[in-house]
């Protein structure tokens, strides 16, 4: 209500009490004061707005400076050298919104107050008559000069504008207002605003005014989905008489090209033709370029041919697009024919033309020709762009020609081009690969200093390269920053899982996989395969198979690689039936077995000694048109040789040659090893000589087989001569070679020479294994026995590893932490806990700190020997020393405690493990299903599940299914419904259904 209207009402309504009038007068006085205050604020606001506009312009001119500030902050965060991080830079808002007190009194003042608008809904409540009052203002012919309208314009939202556009009477004013409001810095039309405007124009028959608004609407689309919605809407308007124009059609085609909507563009072009719209050069160029980007050059050629029908001729953009299409199809010959045609038709190529050809040559590995094209381009005074240099720099770095790439960078800077993120990323990767890590990091910091903000590809490259050189602290720092800022993609997570598996930190790898499953990005087959291989390397076939089940349940289809690794895992454990079942499952999934799958199974049969089955499978492999390679034949030849079936091995070698499969060093070495094992060393040396005649150089395994064969025949001296010959040829012996020679001397009761060989082994920095120490201990036992027989005195106790350490010290081979670790771990695997503890104490007496493997092995062996209290003592020690126990150690301890009915202690340990944030599914698989469940009753196992739920560590649905199946299979009296209800009561029927189908 206006003030004047209030006074008129007061005059008409005379019977008002004096007190009421005084109250009313007071309110009016406050309104007038507020009006004056508002006018003052408006003046101040205009002044501030002017200043802010100037600041905004300065900010636009100083964008590079802002980027440098951000990059400088990033450089501090990612300081690999100092290993420190700070919070990422957060730029302040461009506009400093000032809040003014709302005006009291009439609705008019309230509507036009300067309170900041939060949302359309808030405006609806705070300004109930905003649309009506703006419409009233628009009735004034000079509405655009109205101060109140300007003041309230920043309050208008899309919903308000749409209502004004739809309801205001004067269509000319509506059109002017529609354009006027879009110039307001705080307002921008959305699709709903455009639709309201177009609908109004079509309704009133103002079709001539629609074209520009249609174009603006199309340009507003930010996604393919938005554009499709606009196309559907425009098609509706077509049915109401609003046909496409050439202008709007071309704009729509260009926007479709941005989103690669080839089918939609093709339909629109057809509509243009049927509507009688004559296409121009822009129309054809847009279609040709879109098709060429997709590699559809034949269809693009058909559009090129149509151009002549409209008296149109291809220009440089047309030819460059065609060249791009042919290059993407790797048809460089045709691309250069198009280039020659350009020249003949006097169409001068531009930088885009040359860039497309240069990129095409680089992708084919013809980098020198690409550089020649670049030189030709510059000789013609055609200025290259940053994109001209990007692919050549990346290609040179990928091929290890980093020096040439840097020369190209120098040339690039001389032409005035500034390096972009892609250039720096390529240089950083290339420098890492040639071993110039520090220089690569220097380029990274230079990139930040120049104001360039790295993208996810840059960070992925840094993570990969730092992982390759073992700079784990740096890569984890980068990954943590990426996670906090929501940057990692699937490739990032896959790289991190691969690195964690290389570090043998499979538990953290499983945690990352679980995070991907829950919050994204969703894991791929690579994610699962990496962890499956990790489990198999730990000889944990059960968890690898569980991960396969989880993979299928999450909708990720296993590939040939998945099945190949799992089949190999089954064959390694001797479970050929399991491997064959997976092989058949793979075939049923329409995956074609290759030579790798067949070779794995053939090798599995050979390890079990079932050579006939291996030969049958070889024949089936060839019948399935899968050509056997040398590795396949080698597996069978090795098996035949070890079983002294040398004639059959020779026949298979002949068959192999007949099929044009050339024997390699492994083939010959396999035969040599078989002959040596069966006492035919002289024949083995004949094959050895034949190898050299055929220029097949013997390897370490060849010499090791011959040395072992000579030692088995009691010819240790000859074996040592062969060892020296081997070293002269540059082949370094390993622990197998040295151990064979040591064993040869021990077998001859020549103890001193055996320790001399051991001394040589240590001096050559060849690390002994447990077998080496066993052989030396056997030598000491032989020496002790011989002394006893010679002196016929009382027989002393057999020498121990402690005695061996003394003897080793006499030869200058004092024990190290590695020595103790190898011995103790080996003793623990044999269950000799007393001897292992004795060595542990001996080590502590020498003030040597045991490593993590020693503690874990001692815990393991004491748990298996039912000495859980001692195991717990070592567990406490490992935590004091700062080592991280693995999940299998927890499993052993918790299971042992449950077996001893010490459930309360087991619960404390279990809760401690849950606090370490390991993957929930792996905890259930390893600790509960493979551990507690086997050593305790069902109720105890369910109680542990209850603890996990209390700590909000809920397993995957598929894990509940596995657990339910295991419990119900063993304990028939167990209530299967109780188990499944723990997962989710609503999913109980589905769980039961899955159990029945497993």
3-state SS, one letter per residue, for 9-39: HHHHCCCCCHHHHHHHHHHHHHHHHHHHHHH
**Confidence band (pLDDT; 50, 70, 90) for 278?**
very high
Kindly list the distances between the CA atom of residue 858 and the CA atoms of 426, 821, 905, in Å, as whole numbers in the listed order.
49, 11, 19
Average pLDDT for 169-191 = 89
Helices (H), 210-280: 210-220, 224-239, 246-258, 262-274
**Is the N-terminal amide bond of 521 cis, ω within 30° of 0?**
yes
SS3 79: strand
Q: Which of 590, 597, 591, 539 shows the shortest CA–CA distance to 565?
A: 597
Sequence-distant contacts of 470-477: CB under 8 A, at least 24 apart: 471/80, 471/437, 472/499, 472/503, 473/83, 474/78, 474/80, 474/83, 475/499, 477/78, 477/80, 477/83, 477/85
Dist. CA 127–CA 679, nearest whole Å: 102
Distance of CA 117 to the CA centre of its chain: 41
Dist. CA 330–CA 201, nearest whole Å: 50
Average pLDDT for 920-924 = 92
Task: Locate 667 and state its tokens.
Answer: 């083939």
Q: Which of 101, 180, 191, 99 shows the shortest CA–CA distance to 137?
A: 180
Contact 224, 261 (CB under 8 A): yes
Dist. CA 540–CA 548, nearest whole Å: 13
Which of the listed ranges 378-387, 784-793, 989-998 does the model predict with the highest average pLDDT? 378-387
pLDDT tens sequence across 608-623: 889 999 999 999 998 9
**Confidence band (pLDDT; 50, 70, 90) for 461?**
very high
pLDDT score, position 8: 37
Task: Locate 161 and state its tokens.
Answer: 């504008």
pLDDT score, position 126: 45
Task: Locate 147 and state its tokens.
Answer: 């101060």
Sort residue 896 into left (φ over 0), alpha (ψ -120 to 50) or beta.
alpha
**Confidence band (pLDDT; 50, 70, 90) for 643?**
confident
Kindly list the distances between the CA atom of residue 861 and the CA atoms of 535, 825, 837, 850, 883, in Å, as whole numbers in the listed order.
22, 9, 10, 16, 18
pLDDT score, position 123: 43
Contact 352, 339 (CB under 8 A): no
Lowest mean pLDDT among 115-119, 440-444, 607-611, 740-744: 115-119
> Mean pLDDT across the chain, nearest whole number?
84
SS3 content of the chain, % helix, strand, coil (to 5): 75, 0, 25
Q: Which residue in the block uniquely carries the two structure tokens 């409209």?
A: 310
Q: Which of 294, 233, 235, 234 shows the shortest CA–CA distance to 262?
A: 294
Lowest mean pLDDT among 601-610, 630-639, 879-888, 973-982: 973-982
**Per-residue pLDDT at 869 exceeds 50:** yes
**Per-residue pLDDT at 385 exceeds 80:** yes
Which of the listed ranges 30-39, 182-191, 305-314 does the model predict with the highest average pLDDT? 305-314
**Confidence band (pLDDT; 50, 70, 90) for 884?**
confident
pLDDT score, position 693: 87
**Per-residue pLDDT at 114 exceeds 50:** no
DSSP 315: -
DSSP 154: G
**Per-residue pLDDT at 17 exceeds 50:** no
**Confidence band (pLDDT; 50, 70, 90) for 38?**
low
**Per-residue pLDDT at 992 exceeds 70:** no
pLDDT score, position 6: 41
Element (H, E) at 935: helix 933-935
Q: What value, to the nearest 5°, has the Cα angle with vertex 702 and ends 697 and 707?
A: 135
Residues with Cβ within 8 Å of residue 811, at least 6 apart in sequence: 755, 756, 758, 759
Average pLDDT for 788-811 = 80
pTM assigned to the model: 0.74
Average pLDDT for 82-89 = 35
Dist. CA 955–CA 945, nearest whole Å: 9
Average pLDDT for 769-789 = 89
Dist. CA 100–CA 107, nearest whole Å: 17
**Confidence band (pLDDT; 50, 70, 90) for 634?**
very high
Kindly list the distances between the CA atom of residue 664 and the CA atoms of 266, 411, 619, in Å, as whole numbers in the listed order.
57, 48, 21
Average pLDDT for 43-50 = 50
**Confidence band (pLDDT; 50, 70, 90) for 841?**
very high
**φ and ψ of 65, to 5 deg:** -65, -40
pLDDT score, position 968: 76
Task: Locate 883 and state its tokens.
Answer: 């080592």
Measure CA of the first residue to CA of the last residue in the chain; give whole Å.
75
pLDDT score, position 46: 52
Lowest mean pLDDT among 73-87, 762-776, 934-948: 73-87
Dist. CA 613–CA 577, nearest whole Å: 13
Average pLDDT for 611-637 = 92
Average pLDDT for 807-831 = 94
């Amino acid at each position: 209500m206006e003030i004047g209207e209030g006074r008129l009402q007061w005059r008409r309504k005379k019977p008002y009490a004096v007190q009421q009038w005084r109250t009313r007068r007071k309110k009016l006085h406050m309104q007038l004061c507020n009006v004056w205050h508002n006018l003052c604020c408006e003046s101040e606001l205009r002044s501030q707005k002017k200043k802010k506009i100037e600041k905004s312009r300065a900010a636009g001119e100083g964008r590079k400076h802002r980027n440098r500030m951000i990059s400088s902050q990033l450089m501090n965060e990612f300081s690999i050298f100092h290993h420190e991080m700070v919070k990422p830079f957060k730029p302040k808002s461009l506009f400093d919104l000032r809040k003014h007190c709302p005006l009291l009194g009439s609705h008019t003042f309230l509507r036009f107050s300067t309170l900041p608008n939060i949302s359309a809904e808030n405006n609806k409540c705070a300004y109930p008559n905003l649309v009506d009052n703006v419409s009233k203002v628009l009735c004034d012919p000079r509405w655009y000069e109205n101060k109140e309208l300007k003041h309230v314009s920043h309050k208008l939202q899309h919903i308000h504008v749409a209502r004004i556009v739809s309801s205001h009477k004067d269509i000319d004013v509506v059109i002017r207002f529609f354009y006027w409001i879009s110039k307001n810095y705080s307002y921008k039309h959305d699709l709903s605003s455009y639709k309201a405007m177009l609908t109004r124009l079509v309704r009133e028959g103002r079709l001539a005014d629609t074209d520009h608004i249609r174009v603006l609407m199309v340009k507003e689309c930010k996604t393919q989905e938005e554009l499709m919605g606009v196309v559907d809407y425009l098609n509706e308007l077509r049915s109401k008489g609003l046909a496409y124009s050439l202008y709007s059609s071309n704009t729509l085609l260009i926007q479709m090209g941005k989103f690669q909507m080839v089918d939609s563009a093709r339909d629109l072009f057809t509509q243009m033709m049927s509507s009688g719209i004559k296409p121009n050069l822009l129309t054809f160029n847009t279609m040709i370029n879109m098709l060429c980007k997709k590699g559809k050059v034949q269809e693009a050629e058909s559009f090129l041919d149509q151009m002549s029908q409209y008296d149109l001729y291809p220009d440089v953009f047309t030819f460059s697009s065609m060249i791009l299409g042919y290059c993407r199809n790797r048809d460089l010959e045709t691309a250069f024919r198009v280039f020659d045609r350009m020249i003949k038709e006097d169409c001068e190529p531009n930088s885009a033309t040359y860039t497309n050809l240069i990129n095409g040559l680089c992708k084919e590995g013809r980098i020198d020709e690409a550089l020649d094209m670049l030189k030709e381009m510059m000789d013609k005074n055609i200025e290259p762009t940053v994109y001209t240099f990007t692919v050549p720099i990346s290609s040179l770095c990928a091929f290890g020609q980093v020096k040439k790439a840097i020369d190209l960078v120098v040339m690039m800077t001389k032409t005035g081009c500034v390096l972009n993120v892609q250039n720096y990323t390529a240089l950083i990767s290339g420098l890492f690969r040639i071993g110039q890590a520090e220089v690569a990091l220097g380029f990274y910091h230079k990139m930040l200093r120049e104001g360039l903000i790295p993208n996810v590809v840059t960070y992925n490259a840094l993570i990969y390269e730092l992982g390759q050189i073992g700079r784990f602290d740096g890569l984890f720092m980068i990954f943590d920053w990426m996670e906090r800022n929501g940057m990692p993609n699937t490739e990032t997570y896959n790289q991190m899982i691969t690195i964690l598996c290389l570090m043998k930190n499979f538990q953290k790898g499983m945690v990352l996989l679980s995070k991907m499953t829950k919050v994204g990005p969703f894991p791929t087959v690579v994610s699962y395969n990496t962890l499956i291989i990790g489990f198999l390397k730990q000889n944990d076939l059960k968890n690898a198979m569980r991960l396969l089940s989880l993979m299928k349940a999450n909708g990720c289809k296993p590939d040939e690689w998945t099945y190949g690794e799992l089949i190999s895992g089954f064959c390694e454990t001797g479970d050929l039936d399991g491997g064959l079942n997976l092989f058949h499952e793979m075939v049923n999934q329409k995956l074609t077995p290759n030579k790798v799958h067949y070779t794995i199974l053939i090798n599995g049969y050979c390890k079990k000694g079932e050579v006939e089955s291996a030969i049958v499978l070889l024949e089936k492999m060839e019948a399935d048109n899968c050509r056997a390679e040398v590795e396949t034949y080698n597996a069978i030849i090795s098996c035949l040789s070890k079983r002294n079936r040398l004639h059959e091995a020779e026949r298979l070698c002949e068959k192999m040659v007949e099929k044009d499969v050339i024997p390699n060093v492994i083939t010959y070495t396999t035969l040599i090893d078989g002959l040596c094992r069966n006492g035919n060393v002289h024949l083995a040396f004949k094959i050895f000589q034949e190898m050299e005649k055929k220029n097949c150089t013997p390897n370490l395994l060849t010499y090791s087989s011959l040395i072992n064969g000579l030692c088995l025949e009691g010819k240790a001296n000859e074996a040592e001569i062969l060892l020296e010959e081997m070293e002269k040829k540059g082949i370094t012996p390993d622990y197998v070679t040295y151990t064979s020679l040591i064993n040869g001397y021990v077998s001859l009761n020549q103890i001193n020479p055996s320790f001399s060989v051991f001394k040589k082994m240590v001096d050559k920095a060849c690390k002994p294994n447990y077998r080496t120490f066993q052989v030396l201990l056997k030598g000491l036992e032989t020496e002790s026995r011989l002394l006893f027989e010679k002196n016929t005195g009382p027989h002393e106790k057999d020498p121990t590893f402690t005695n061996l350490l003394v003897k080793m010290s006499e030869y200058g081979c004092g024990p190290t932490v590695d020595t103790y670790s190898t011995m103790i771990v080996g003793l623990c695997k044999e269950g000799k806990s007393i001897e292992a503890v004795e060595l542990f104490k001996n080590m502590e007496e020498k003030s040597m700190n045991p490593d993590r493997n020693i503690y874990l092995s001692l815990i393991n062996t004491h748990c298996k020997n039912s000495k859980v209290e001692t195991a717990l003592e070592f567990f406490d020690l490992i935590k004091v020393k700062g080592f991280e126990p693995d999940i299998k150690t927890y499993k052993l301890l918790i299971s042992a405690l449950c077996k001893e009915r010490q459930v309360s202690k087991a619960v404390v340990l279990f809760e401690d493990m849950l606090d370490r944030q390991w993957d929930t599914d792996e905890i259930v698989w390893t600790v509960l299903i493979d551990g507690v469940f086997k050593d305790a009753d069902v109720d105890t196992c369910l109680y542990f599940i209850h603890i996990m739920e209390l700590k909000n560590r809920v397993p995957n649905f598929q894990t509940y299914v596995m657990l339910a199946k295991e419990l119900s299979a063993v304990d028939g009296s167990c209530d299967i419904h109780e188990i499944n209800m723990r997962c989710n009561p609503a999913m109980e029927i589905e769980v039961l259904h899955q159990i029945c189908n497993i």
